[in-house]
Amino acid sequence: MGELTAKVAAGRAYGALLLLLVPPMSAAPPEASRGANLASGVVQTVHALMQAGQVEDARRLILTAIVASPADPQLLCLQGDILFRQSKFDDAEKAYRAALLLAPRTARAHFGLGRVDQLRFRRKSAHEHIATAYQLDWHDPEIILAYARYVQDPEARKVLLQNFLALAPREDKGHRDDVVARVEMEKRLGARRLAALDSSYRDYKLPLETFIAPNGQTSGVLLKASINHGKPLRLILDTGADGILLTSKAVRNLGLETLTRSQITGLGQQEPANALVAVAQTVEIEDFRLQDCVLQISDAALTPGADGIIGANVFQEFLIRLDARSHVLELSPFSRRAESSVWSGDPWLDYEGLSHDGPACASCDHLAPAYRVGHLLLLRATLNSLKSDGQQDGYFLLDSGSTYSAVSQEVANRLPGGRTHLLGARGPLDGVSHSRPMRLEVGAAQLADFNPVSLDFTEMSRQEGVEISGIVGFSVVSKAVLTINYRDGLVGFGR
């Protein structure tokens, strides 16, 4: 038996085993197996177009196919995938539900609805849809990977990840490399609980410092953190980052436990930077303490003038209040602690529904729903120029680590401005220009920026799988009191 055939056969064996890990369901094939009723090559063509960022071409192809076969549930699922990629989430949900009306056992429709629910912090419904999708089609690599985050047993999760590697396309190198690294991490870490709070679950007030970039510009706020009882490191507090990222120079002689290798990506023209993944026994910020924290360590100078970055999601078990003007990060506990494994990336993974029993957001006049894509938080906003008519709705990334707020070049073409240079996490950004002053409406909040920039979000949107229209950066965050509720998916800009 050839190597590829052997691996696929092994993947099928794993899948058969893992059907026992979820509530039993008939093993009959799904009513709409992948590509069953489509013209030859349409599925592959659509996926290739989406991967290449040619979303409009994919949309036209699917519309043509739907005209020829309007009752094909798999076509409706593909249409939903395209609408999701375009950040038309309501329309995507309608397409997936239409597919289920035609064929209730369509795995990709349940998977699509699960993704929409994850985006909207509907955790229980997301779990149910993705578990159903896995029961219906445990050979789909995307479904396997989505389901794995809900499996708490390490050995069962390991088998699922091995299934993914056996079945995922070889050209999907990015996801494959991530999963290989994750398998290696789980092997080394065993049953340890990561990022466990080692101090009391109570209120904290952590001091912030203004971050002045080497060019003299105020570019963010810093937290001082000690790793393994070492000297305090200056870390930029970044709502757009995931976990803790440090430079190799900053962690010398700290006795970190190396796990595996990874890559760090971000806005910028350079290739992804190689990094080490390691575990710190302790992370201390004043009297706030964590045990067994995973860190990424890069040789590249990610943040000139600072030792690294700390993502706001490090504190997602708390209600977060960032007041850059008063130089304080306030953390308030909820009435019930999160209990899910950190492997999911969301300690509130099994939290059921919106609750009002948590701490009140007394200083937050305006609350708006956030939309979660991986570790990123998106805000639905209406953009208005302060000097011209017209407006545009879109989804903006909340990114306090970005000096500037930004809009896409599509918007900038209608709001021209002068040229400037901007640095991303991976180097200089091409095609960046100043845009005219803008006003963002996020829920009931009115957020003004008199010096935004425009840049190309094409690659970032492709990588994240949704259309990103801009960034709400530090230039806006610094003028308000930012409140983030990761439990219920809410963001507020207050006085």
Q: The domain that contains 81 carries what CATH number?
A: 1.25.40.10
Q: Does 206 lie in the same domain as 116?
A: no
Q: Does 287 lie in the same domain as 204?
A: yes
* Res. 18 pLDDT band, cuts 50 70 90: very low
Pair of tokens at residue 481: 């009191």
* Res. 174 pLDDT band, cuts 50 70 90: confident
pLDDT of residue 267: 58
Q: Does 250 lie in the same domain as 167?
A: no
pLDDT of residue 283: 97
* Res. 22 pLDDT band, cuts 50 70 90: very low
pLDDT of residue 35: 44
**DSSP 3-state assignment of 277?**
strand
pLDDT of residue 173: 77
For residue 57, being part of any structural domain is answered with yes
Residue 472: give the domain boundaries. Answer: 372-494
* Res. 23 pLDDT band, cuts 50 70 90: very low
- What is the H or E stretch that residue 180 is in? helix 173-189
Average pLDDT estimate for 87-95 = 97
Mean pLDDT of the chain: 83
Average pLDDT estimate for 103-118 = 97
Give residue-wise pLDDT tens across range 150-168: 998 888 999 999 999 999 8
Q: Does 77 lie in the same domain as 158?
A: yes
Angle between helices 73-85 and 107-119 (to 10 degrees): 20
The answer, yes or no, to whether residue 422 has pLDDT greater than 80, is: no
Q: The domain that contains 416 carries what CATH number?
A: 2.40.70.10
Average pLDDT estimate for 443-456 = 84
Higher local confidence (pLDDT), 111 or 74 = 111
Final residue belonging to a domain, choices 271, 305, 333 = 333
* Res. 356 pLDDT band, cuts 50 70 90: very low
* Res. 275 pLDDT band, cuts 50 70 90: confident
pLDDT of residue 3: 29
Angle between helices 141-148 and 123-136 (to 10 degrees): 140
Q: Does 207 lie in the same domain as 176?
A: no
Higher local confidence (pLDDT), 349 or 210 = 210
Pair of tokens at residue 115: 């993704």
pLDDT of residue 313: 95
- Provide the phi-psi class of 293: left if phi over 0, else alpha when psi is between -120 and 50, else beta: beta
Instruction: Tell me how many domains the chain contains.
Output: 3
The answer, yes or no, to whether residue 375 has pLDDT greater than 60, is: yes
Final residue belonging to a domain, choices 189, 211, 246 = 189
Q: Does 179 lie in the same domain as 208?
A: no
For residue 343, being part of any structural domain is answered with no
Instruction: Give residue 199's identity as a one-letter amino acid code.
Output: S
Q: List the single range of 58-67, 413-422, 472-481, 485-494 with lowest mean pLDDT.
A: 413-422
Q: In sequence order, what DSSP letters do the residues of 86-122 get, joined into one string? A: TT-HHHHHHHHHHHHHH-TT-HHHHHHHHHHHHHTT-
For residue 144, being part of any structural domain is answered with yes
pLDDT of residue 8: 28
The pTM assigned to this predicted structure is 0.85
Give residue-wise pLDDT tens across range 209-244: 999 988 888 899 999 999 999 999 999 999 999 999
* Cα–Cα nearest to 99, from 86, 112, 87: 112
Q: Does 469 lie in the same domain as 386?
A: yes
pLDDT of residue 33: 46
* Cα–Cα nearest to 317, from 358, 280, 279, 352: 358
C-alpha to C-alpha distances, 467 to 84, 368, 410, nearest whole angstrom:
8, 19, 12
Sign of the alpha-carbon dihedral angle for 20, 23, 24, 29: negative
Most confident of 58-67, 84-93, 185-194: 84-93
Q: What are the residues whose beta carbons fall under 8 Å from the beta carbon of 298, sequence distance 6 or more?
A: 245, 246, 247, 248, 264, 273, 274, 275
Q: Does 235 lie in the same domain as 185?
A: no
- The per-residue b/e assignment along 169-204, b for 16 or more CB within 10 angstroms, e otherwise, is eeeeeeebebbebbbebbeebeeeebbebeeeeeeb
Q: Does 324 lie in the same domain as 398?
A: no
* Res. 185 pLDDT band, cuts 50 70 90: confident
- What is the H or E stretch that residue 380 is in? strand 376-385
Q: In sequence order, what DSSP letters do the residues of 184-239 get, joined into one string? A: HHHHHHTTPPTTEE-S-SS-EEEE-EEEEPTTS-EEEEEEEEEETT-S-EEEEEET
Q: List the single range of 111-115, 346-350, 413-417, 449-453 with lowest mean pLDDT.
A: 413-417
* Res. 366 pLDDT band, cuts 50 70 90: low
The answer, yes or no, to whether residue 343 has pLDDT greater than 80, is: no
For residue 362, being part of any structural domain is answered with no
Final residue belonging to a domain, choices 333, 352, 384 = 333
Instruction: Give residue 226's identity as a one-letter amino acid code.
Output: S
Percentage of the chain beyond pLDDT 90 is 48
pLDDT of residue 431: 61
Pair of tokens at residue 100: 């289920």
